[in-house]
Chain A
Amino acid sequence: MSNRKTLYDKLWDDHVVRTEEDGTALLYIDRHLVHEVTSPQAFEGLRMAGREPWRTGSIVAVPDHNVPTTDRSEGITDPVAKLQVETLDNNCKEFGLTEFDMSDQRQGIVHVIGPEQGATLPGMTVVCGDSHTSTHGAFGALAFGIGTSEVEHVLATQCLMQNKSLNMLVSVDGQVHPGVTAKDIVLAIIGEIGTAGGTGYAIEFGGDAIRALSMEGRMTVCNMAIEAGARAGMVAVDQTTIDYVKGRPYSPTGDNMEKAEAYWSTLHSDDNAKFDKLVHIDAAEIKPQVTWGTSPEMVVDIDSSVPDPEAVSDKVKADGMRKALAYMGLEAGMPISDIAVDKVFIGSCTNSRIEDLREAAAIAHGRQVSDHVKLAMVVPGSGLVKKQAEEEGLDKIFIDAGFEWREPGCSMCLAMNADRLEPGERCASTSNRNFEGRQGQGGRTHLVSPAMAAAAAINGHFTNINELS
């Protein structure tokens, strides 16, 4: 039947203010998250045009990319970074916006604190000048990253001009084996469909293996939808979603909560809704994943070897693989478990929530970081995640094992602050991008789950965690 809608169709239809003849729609934005890197030019543009933010209550701002993860009592030493963070503070003051500044315990990575505060709710449109805004789709929300001009557009009008994407369903059917996490699921999906596989689509993640995930796990999966080329990833609302949302500072209460729950319970694709593309993945086939190259689609099982470009017939692809191998300093055919790491980074908006830290701590418990590893660091996603982890004693487990326990922020995910790789250094990282130079110029990044990162730290090389746990 033609009126059967996907989750994306429903979210879209509920936010259209008007549609142009060519189908371009003016879409209303419920929540606007702001950080220091992509907003200064937008506020400046607003000021220069003599405009005001349309709805200040929709905005939550936080500095995260540039903040130090070491002792903050001295402030930021890098003057350029300092100016950027102060510019955010000043803009928030000038326009009367809510900001969790560097001294606030609620400060953290923008994609961690939105959900943590209940500022991300099912059924919302959520935007942020950051591609990993797709994370918030885990709540049955339409969430996507925007550029700075669009940040200014949302500030000024509360709306965005958008063209509707196509619908894709990625269904992960069955159950995963022990030791296989949300990160492995999403890396396996990207390995399957490719980094451009989702371009032009909004992806809904479904299937038993996705339903079985906690909200943290769903956020990890949706976070990396952008790495599959999709601007938005989402998961239907269920009891897991509602249980997570309840009681958070920005969540509705009383009558409003009842009303909201009734609405939220409609936020799933109708039976037999039409998807433009369907992808099925067998959960039982997924093993712990490790990327070997400079694009998230360059990913294999922990039990396999570095692939050989000679075996690939597509010339452009084989060339890309050769460039990646040269950059990564790897030989085709080398077993993944023989790759030794110099540094380990557990953090980022993909994997810095409490569940991620618990997974890593379970591996680190009672063990020692290998002597060959120069630095293993754990960077919680927010001040509140840090606090909870400390209440659970996870900090002690990490510190006893030889990990550094840091203050929250983006940290070595993109190395805008002092946390970075030196040229040629190799890192097991729980972040989302293994691009050239992402974690520091000349640095080599392998993307893995938190448990796999901890295992690499302990053994000094990649290891199937099932051999450790």
Chain B
Amino acid sequence: MQKFNKHSGIVAPLDRPNVDTDAIIPKQFLKSIKRSGFGPNAFDDWRYLDEGGPDIDNASRRPNPDFVLNQQPFDKATILLARENFGCGSSREHAVWALDDFGFRAVIAPSFADIFFNNSFKNGLLPIALQASVVDDLFKRVSDNNGLELTIDLAAQTVSCGDELIASFEIDEFRKHCMLNGLDDIALTLQHADEIKAYEANRKQSAPWLF
């Protein structure tokens, strides 16, 4: 997994609540058996005026000029700003892969759907939940200053703009540790293989029908 320590980048405003994972990466792209290459089709239905598919060359399609990620400087954004319940719907991790592949390192929203939230951490994409009023203020700042850059410091758990601290955010210690160090959590879990085996042996006694 990609390490995440400190990151500064341009913020793209996606002013919608309930952005679902179907919207982040539509189903026709889920047929891929790979983990990469989803970036050009992130937000596909909103991003292009004509229909896309796994075998359609995106270069031949008409981008939707009204969609924020097609506008400069947001096409270079690395931080996505959105409204509540971001990432709701399907469990598809392809949504996180698509955001990551587009170049996003963090998403800021008042709240996230649980599965998306989990999936993000597994891929080094940092989901930051901030109070709705702070998010609202960030939307205003971006609209006053297209190209606004924020700095996210995971170790300090802060979001700032230049020297100004915007907010601190919460994160579980364990997740923070994994993300700061880019740890493979399967290897971490396998360090406890003996405990897993002991649990299994116990459970075989008490609930043999499960095995």
Q: Which residues of A contact B (CB under 8 A)?
A: 17-18, 20-22, 24, 26, 28, 30, 37-38, 40-41, 44, 49, 51, 54-55, 57, 65-66, 78, 80-81, 83-84, 87, 121, 123-124, 129-131, 133, 145-150, 152-153, 156-159, 161, 163, 165, 195-196, 199-200, 229, 231, 252, 256-257, 259-260, 263, 295, 316-317, 319-320, 323, 414-416, 433, 435-438, 441
Contact = CB atoms under 8 A, between A and B. Distances in A.
Contact of A152 (B30, B34, B186): B186
Contacts of B189: 26, 153, 156-157, 159, 161
Contact of B17 (A21, A37, A153, A316): A316
17 contacts: A17-B192, A21-B173, A22-B172, A26-B192, A41-B93, A44-B35, A78-B31, A130-B90, A147-B115, A147-B122, A156-B186, A159-B196, A161-B174, A259-B207, A319-B15, A323-B16, A433-B22
B51 interface: yes
Interface string B105-141: 0000001111100110011000000000000000000
Nearest to A415: B27
Interface of B: 15-18, 20, 22-23, 26-28, 30-35, 45, 51, 54-55, 83-85, 88-94, 96, 111-115, 118-119, 122-123, 172-174, 185-186, 189-190, 192-193, 195-196, 199-200, 203, 206-211
B96 A147 contact: yes
Contacts of A148: 35, 93-94, 119
Contacts of B15: 319
Contact of B209 (A81, A252, A320): A252
Contacts of B111: 196, 199
A38 B22 contact: no
6 A-B pairs closest in CB distance: A252-B209, A149-B122, A147-B119, A40-B33, A147-B93, A196-B85
Given A147-B93, A196-B88, A157 B196 contact: yes
B16 A256 contact: no
A124 B207 CA distance: 10
A429 B89 CA distance: 17
Contacts, number: 182
Contacts of B203: 28
B91 A145 contact: yes
Nearest to B178: A161
A150 B118 CA distance: 9
A159 B192 CA distance: 10
Interface centre among A131, A133, A156 (most CB of B within 10 A): A131
B174 A22 contact: yes
A99 B193 CA distance: 27
